[in-house]
Chains A and B, each alone.
Chain A
């Protein structure tokens, strides 16, 4: 009788332990899936950027670049729309490891805006133009000079894009959106 009772108790305890494990597993999955499933592609978030500014957003994308020096920021890419956004570390994210490059992640964070003012863009443009003039006076066409010429033209293009956007949106600043990350999950 005692032996039977002991056996039954043992079975009950084992079953309880197994179900605890299953419960822990389910709880684990539920916690993870709750916001990851809600994550959107970058284009959707940028489209409704004004509505989402300073609010918690959930986005996903492929990690294009991890800041090697500090690991404090990554650039994630929306491969469908070819849009990328910067994600800064914050909240539960102490930093990003280099191996994330090429992996798709879902990020929970706050959508932030950095406004590049007209004055700043004007100042930037004048500096770039000064650099171009300096290179035009330089007769030594070595590779270094050619490289500088290329980077200057890229900067001018960027400046022109910014001005165009400002004109189209009737704003006197250019918005650069980024995410202040709170958490992320590798998908």
Chain B
């Protein structure tokens, strides 16, 4: 049964996951080409100076890749389930609903996290060629909330899509916007270094919220 679940999700999402992976690679290539040009124009010493002393961040373009990836894959996975009412079928299989949804979400989540890890490691390894450990740490702590935001975005899309009532769905969307907004409160590099735990709690809560939507979907709530 598990294999069937994975296969179903794979068929639905494989091209989009590939697109996200390629998109991530292209963004990284672009970032490093841009960095190379900055080095040629400004010089290594000057670029280090603006990074260290003027809070310039060289990888801003990466900011929206994780959230767009999370939103895209969430929509691609969930919209057919809801519009074509396939989810009802999935939840009526001889499997606990919680397990069904965990498999569905877990599969995409693992792939998405894997893509983000690859992107993160590539960025760090590439940056390590040009920058010392202190700047690498700053880069890592600055981009980490963006990747967490991507994971949260996916989970919140699922949370919103699975909610059966539109009235409540709107509230869920507002909650999601608030949650995602917390990842973009500051463009100062390293601003989230004292708040990484909270940033990690948000995706965990988002994951739990999915089960509420599934419960409501399963019990067929008509009001509230």
A and B touch in their complex, CB below 8 angstroms: no
Contact residues of A with B, CB < 8 Å? none
